Structure 1
Amino acid sequence: MNNRHFLWLAISLLMFPQIAQTLYSPALGDIGRVFNVGPQAAAQTLSVYFLAFAVGVVVWGRLCDRIGRRPAMLAGLAIYAIATLLGLRVSSFNGLLLAQMLAAFGAAVGSVVTQTVLRDRFKGAELAQVFSLVGIALAASPAIGLFSGAGLVQAFGYRGVLGALLLLATLLWLWSVYALPETRAEQPPHVCLFETSGRMLRDPGIWRSALWIASFNVALFSYYSLGPFMFQRLGVDASVFGYSGVILALGSGFGAWLNRRLLTGGFKALQLIRLAGGIALLGGVGVWSLQGSVAFVLPMLLVVLAFGLAIPNILGAALAHYADRLGTAGALLGLMYYLLIGAGLMLAGWFQALGETLIACSTVALLLTIKPGKAIV
């Protein structure tokens, strides 16, 4: 398989978890109505998703080192499809949460295994450029998820969303069966999970990367978690929330494009992450000041732009010192930042305060750029 076809498949697999999360967001209001639960409880479906996702990241990352990238990917997609089918049949909110947990566990394969495959195939500056291309493609994910989710919910309720996700997972499984290569070394070195985890827990660069990733992700996904209820409180039709994803995708896409141009122009990763933190803080203040109006979506553009600018640089450099154990190290890094994301979204869902959440996340991201040492260059 040539690099172009390989990248198409890899990008689709990386987009899958994000599309699954954002496609689900417009359904939160319908879930609250069908199961008679409040906004805080309905928003917790996304928090549960991230927490279960973190467990899946560890399992699939470890398995892709042990049994190979390809079989791990196929197993994870199959589990996701089964869990989504179960979600279509449950009749209680707790049952839906359990189905979401199993689905998130399976969906994690699209993140950790695909990143491992990319790190197998590309190195150094080429890897940074690939992650920049990935960032541009991922910018379309929120637009696809929110726009499609809004239409499906209007037509079929939350079950329409689950049906679409089942179809998507099945198609990706079939594509992977046909086209996903095995990129693991023929005789990979034995990697001890506990030795690797101890080494990473003592590595300040890993902690910094995990906190950076979590900060920008909580800022982004807090909108998808809290946005539907903000639109409800403002008396705006729920479909407008779905359409807002198209606007936000432009900001994220521009951020990823700008990142690629600035990298080519000689800017360092740390400089770009610091710039992204400042832009996100400005956007957070704007959302906080305009949260009584639908106009709060406009400064949210700055937050998603910052996400597209920062994340490729963080992911591209995070595991530079763990090249001999990419699957296991990627799994442990993913566990760290997805646990942080889940906890952050749980707090955001509880407080229902989008502007304050954005300000807190961007402030953390900026503080982490102070004296980073050798964490990132």
Structure 2
Amino acid sequence: MVGMSLQPDPAPRSVADGAGAAAPAAPAAPTPGPGDPAYRPDWRYVLLLGSMTALPAVSTDIYLPSLPDVARDLGTSAAAAQLTMTGMLLGGAVGQLVIGPLSDRFGRRGPVLVGVALHVVTSVLCAVAPAIVPLIALRMLQGFFNASASVVAMALIRDRFVGSDASRLMSRLMLVIGVAPMFAPSVGGLIAGQWGWRAVFYALAVFGVGLWVVVLTKMPETLPAERRRGGGIRTALSGYRALLRDRHFVALAVLPGLNMAVLMSYVVASPFVLREGYGLSEHQFSLVFAVNGVGLVLGAQINAAIVRRVAPIRILRASQVAVVLLSGVLLVLGITGAGGMWALLVVLWFVLALVNFAPPNASSIALGRHGEVAGTAAAFIGACQAGVSGLVSPVSGLLGGDALAMTGVMAAASVAALAVLALATPAFRRGGAWQLT
């Protein structure tokens, strides 16, 4: 990350079907004014955006080792405990749909400051929840409010970058976001081991307070008043109608959600598969989760390194096919049990490394088509990502929560993603990538 220029090109890049090929220009990115701190994002700017985007991930991963304890303490089933994860994802989906247009109307800073403050409040309420149903409801609210940070972070990127530059910056963010799966479960397991699972939510509140202070003091406003969209709910709905009429945008927006469903099926099911199915201790599970987190980060950084030389659409096509093939191998291992836990973990590592190629490339292509409503477009993509993954991920628990259920859902989600890319976009047609610019 250090030493790499993330300045936007004089003319914003557009998606091409090959490296270096000319293509129709993408919608022009706004030109920042002299001295704008968002114009040359250094490592501190990347860290700020990464911390904002990571808030939902931290809220998910720090709580993972506690899922079995929550089920036991509140006298409920594993599937019900998993609904506390699903509730946060679905709340995040709705939150992004609401907050995205608000950020186009009122600017970027206000919505994220209010949202993070309310995330702190709901975190404290989660810590004192008396039963599973209130906890599920509060997690939905928590997801709704912390969506403000992630959707505004994406809008900040589109305010300044398009095409390969946007994809590269999004991939760089994964270096920050990847810290969550590497360290959050270990931190959460340590906190829960010392003070119980409720203390994990107090830790989330503290994290929220720190993020709020950083946003207040360091985050620039990238949407000046003259570029904000006036009006109320009618204007917001008109923005969503325009997006829904662009079928290629909708397909590209769904792709990150289906790939996130592959990831979240693993995230939600793994505490039960690895701890109860294979007998790993809390510490061993946290270590495995961290190693897989390295795969997630490594995949995103490889994408960031090659996206300057290879068009995002080409990376998207190749990575989607590879994820389907590896997920098929993973499913075979889940069915047969061949090679035991270690074979499963090795193939799983490669699946998770490759699944991180699709979201930044699909999102940057989609956002490049609608820069005039970047907040609304980012909200639509984020809502699809959280909503689709939230609906799909608990299926593994309903199917039994074992290795077969987990790998089956992961394989199905990856096949669905490839089908959307192949059938709902011209990405695999000769010369079809031009239509995605």
- TM-score, normalised to structure 1, is 0.94
Q: 2:315 aligns with which of 244, 262, 272?
A: 272
CA contact 2:171–2:304 (8 Å) conserved in 1: yes
Describe how 1:340-359 pairs up with structure 2 within 5 A.
340-351=388-399, 352=401, 353-359=405-411
The structure that is helix-richer by fraction is 1
DSSP-derived class of the 2:292 partner: helix
Aligned-pair CA distance for 1:269 = 1.8
Q: Which moved more, 1:151-160 or 1:305-314?
A: 151-160
Separation of aligned partners in 2, 1:120 and 1:262: 23
Aligned-pair CA distance for 1:44 = 1.2
CA contact 2:169–2:304 (8 Å) conserved in 1: no
Separation of aligned partners in 2, 1:172 and 1:37: 33
Match of residue 25 from structure 2: none
Aligned-pair CA distance for 1:73 = 0.8
1:328-362 CA-partner distances (Å, limit 9, x unpaired) = 22223323332222211232332231110111111
1:262-314 CA-partner distances (Å, limit 9, x unpaired) = 223x3222221222223322332343344453322221111211122222111
Match of residue 133 from structure 1: 172
Aligned-pair CA distance for 1:234 = 2.1
The structure-2 alpha-carbon separation of the partners of 1:150 and 1:285, relative to structure 1 and needing over 3 Å to count, comes to farther
Is residue 202 from structure 1 mapped to residue 245 from structure 2 by the alignment?
Answer: yes
Q: 1:287 aligns with which of 315, 322, 330?
A: 330
Q: 1:223 aligns with which of 251, 254, 266?
A: 266
Match of residue 91 from structure 2: 52
Pairwise CA RMSD of aligned residues? 1.9
Q: 2:158 aligns with which of 112, 116, 119?
A: 119
CA contact 1:11–1:134 (8 Å) conserved in 2: yes
CA contact 1:150–1:238 (8 Å) conserved in 2: yes
Separation of aligned partners in 1, 2:165 and 2:95: 28
Separation of aligned partners in 2, 1:189 and 1:208: 25
The structure-2 alpha-carbon separation of the partners of 1:57 and 1:149, relative to structure 1 and needing over 3 Å to count, comes to same
Separation of aligned partners in 2, 1:70 and 1:79: 15
CA contact 1:287–1:354 (8 Å) conserved in 2: no
The structure-2 alpha-carbon separation of the partners of 1:368 and 1:332, relative to structure 1 and needing over 3 Å to count, comes to closer
CA contact 1:139–1:256 (8 Å) conserved in 2: no
The structure-2 alpha-carbon separation of the partners of 1:101 and 1:190, relative to structure 1 and needing over 3 Å to count, comes to same
- Number of aligned residue pairs: 376
Match of residue 286 from structure 2: 242
CA contact 2:263–2:355 (8 Å) conserved in 1: yes
Q: Which runs of 5+ in 1 are unaligned?
A: none
Separation of aligned partners in 2, 1:106 and 1:255: 29
User: What's the % identity of the aligned pairs?
Assistant: 24
Describe how 1:249-328 pairs up with structure 2 within 5 A.
249-264=293-308, 266-291=309-334, 292=337, 293-295=340-342, 296-328=344-376
Q: Which amino acid aligns with 2:80?
A: A
Separation of aligned partners in 1, 2:367 and 2:102: 18
Separation of aligned partners in 2, 1:157 and 1:276: 40
Larger-Rg structure: 2
